[in-house]
Amino acid sequence: MELRPSAHADTFARDRLPPREQWPQLTDLGYPDRLNCGAELLDATIGRLGPDRPAVRDAGGVVWTYGQLREQVDAIAQVLTGRLGVLPGHRVLLRGPTTPWLAACWLAVMKTGAVAVTVLASQRPEELATICRLAQVRQALCDRRAVADLVRAEVPDLRITTYGGDGAEDLQRLAKPGSGPYEAVATASDDVALIAFTSGTTGRPKGCLHFHRDVLAIADTFSAQVLRPRPDDVFAGSPPLGFTFGLGGLVVFPLRAGASAFLADWGGPDRLLADIAAHRISVLFTAPTAYRAMLARLPGHDLSSLRRCVAAGENLPAATWQSWYEATGQRIINGLGATELLHIVLSAADDAIRPGTTGLPVPGFEARVVDADGAPVPDGEPGLLAVRGPTGCRYLADARQTEYVRGGWNYTGDTYVREPDGYFRYVARADDMIVSAGYNIAGPEVEDALSGHPDVTEAAVVGRPDAERGAVVVAHVVLREGVAAGEETVAALRAFTKSRIAPYKCPREFVFHTALPRTPTGKLQRFRLRAGDLQ
């Protein structure tokens, strides 16, 4: 498939796509040659369902209808192209807490044909400087509460426009609704819409280039066919919009369905439970650790509005799934996705859910388990997960493209087993397999066993090099408040674990923590546990 003629005046992003022979094989979903995902998510949805439905809201009482959201988005787009001189293809950095204004800025960037680079509000100056250098960013829209570190990044020639302040040059003053409609740029369906940077758990972030058609593809596959949202749904969750899990779950999916989204930053399990009740949340996106944290706090909270619960970002232990189901009656929709794939590609919902497995390939995607040479392994045997479908990895001028894409397939870096009935069961990250005394031990399996103990809040298992065994299993554990981290607890956890899994898999060492190291997007940083880097 040849690339369509670009609408970008600045061709930086397209020029830095990997060579076509390094792309994954992509499924054509039949989108037209000219397609602007911002217009599709907003204008087309209004065309189907009208402008008066609620679209976004926040904890402060702001509620924008679809019509009001479009007026605000169009006003921002006019400031971008008029006052700020943004051209199609220019990269625009977006930074701030999860709010209706951040979502409106993202949609405005889409409609102008520019390229959104949404970063986390928690990222530090050095990280921001690296991202801006890699993406050659010269414009930024930033919540005034998150501007200090962006200024300290000292990005050359970066023009920062803040919003949420009271200055004359504040975007909220410049972009007043009522300035008239903005006609979206007629971007090619394969023009780059966004550059999503990996969370950089190894300190080497990679920019993932995704097209306008990719944004719609995740809504028309996982959301439409697995999640199956309704126009009266209210979406909410903990992932930030700088994390593609959050962008999809809190902006793309609700708008594509004509639903609404409650947009607020993660404030801990108690606040999330209160928000569910107060705003009648029906579709929830969060990490497995958050579901586990909420379990102990459920009494007194009304969760009757919940209809869909989605988990991704890390493995969902079967014990957490079962406990949540028993407590709430809700079956968590587990999912495997990646920044490189934009969103979830393995999942299952309703009666198709099998606790302890991730699920099946999302309609439109294919998946298989292969060996190191790319040959499929028999069902029941562990191997590398390979996926292909309508979205896929295209790194921004990065030699690691050929590590992720091989033979037309995306290699996610996960070890999986395909069961004889077609379900895919997570084993470990490919680099998380522990080989001890000749045994292959999957850290997440041990974590799942440990997590079933009532005194364990979180568990992470890694290998430590050992001269005699090659490696030994080390469990890093966060205990329930009030439980002493002594030898008696170690003995109890060891006995409990041996009662659930083979004794050779049981941790030889236990290390106790008040919290486990995680990235700003909530992913566990096992490399820090291996290195002992917990300062």
pLDDT digits (tens, 9 = 90+) for 53-105: 999 999 999 999 999 999 999 999 999 999 999 999 999 999 999 999 999 99
H/E stretch holding 476 reads strand 470-479
Residue 439 has what pLDDT?
67
Q: Is the pLDDT of residue 528 over 50?
A: yes
CA-CA-CA-CA torsion for 146, 340, 412, 379, nearest 10 degrees? 130
Q: Which residues is 141 bridged to in the sheet?
A: 94, 161
Residue 200 has what pLDDT?
45
Tokens of 475: 């469990």
Residue 385 half-sphere exposure toward CB, CA atoms < 13 A? 30
Lowest mean pLDDT: which of 45-54, 106-115, 294-303, 460-469?
460-469
Q: Do the beta carbons of residue 155 and residue 129 sit within 8 Å?
A: yes
Residue 53 has what pLDDT?
97
d(CA 250, CA 171): 23
What does the pLDDT average to over 122-127? 85
Domains of the chain, by residue range, sit at 8-13+30-52+66-215, 437-531
Torsions phi, psi for 215 (to 5 deg) = -60, -40
Length of the chain: 535
Residue 246 has what pLDDT?
96
Q: What is the mean pLDDT of the chain?
A: 93
What does the pLDDT average to over 405-433? 92
Q: Is the pLDDT of residue 499 over 80?
A: yes
Q: Is the pLDDT of residue 33 over 90?
A: yes
| Counts for the chain of helices (H) and strands (E), in that order | 18, 25
pLDDT digits (tens, 9 = 90+) for 304-328: 999 999 999 888 989 899 999 999 9
Angle, alpha carbons 424-427-433 (nearest 5°) = 150
Query: CA nearest 256: which of 244, 266, 247?
Result: 247
Predicted TM-score (pTM) of this structure: 0.87
Tokens of 268: 């801990």
Q: Do the beta carbons of residue 282 and residue 261 sit within 8 Å?
A: no
Confidence label for 534 from pLDDT (cuts 50, 70 and 90): low
Which CATH number, 3.30.1330.10, 3.90.1150.10, 3.40.50.12780, 3.40.640.10, labels domain 8-13+30-52+66-215? 3.40.50.12780
What does the pLDDT average to over 171-195? 96
Confidence label for 1 from pLDDT (cuts 50, 70 and 90): low
Q: Is the pLDDT of residue 444 over 90?
A: no
Q: Is the pLDDT of residue 442 over 50?
A: yes
202: which DSSP letter?
T
CA-CA-CA-CA torsion for 460, 462, 374, 18, nearest 10 degrees? 70
d(CA 133, CA 155): 8
Lowest mean pLDDT: which of 11-15, 356-360, 380-384, 467-471?
467-471
Which CATH number, 1.25.40.10, 3.30.750.24, 3.40.640.10, 3.30.300.30, labels domain 437-531? 3.30.300.30
Lowest mean pLDDT: which of 101-115, 271-285, 313-327, 426-440?
426-440
Residue 215 half-sphere exposure toward CB, CA atoms < 13 A? 33
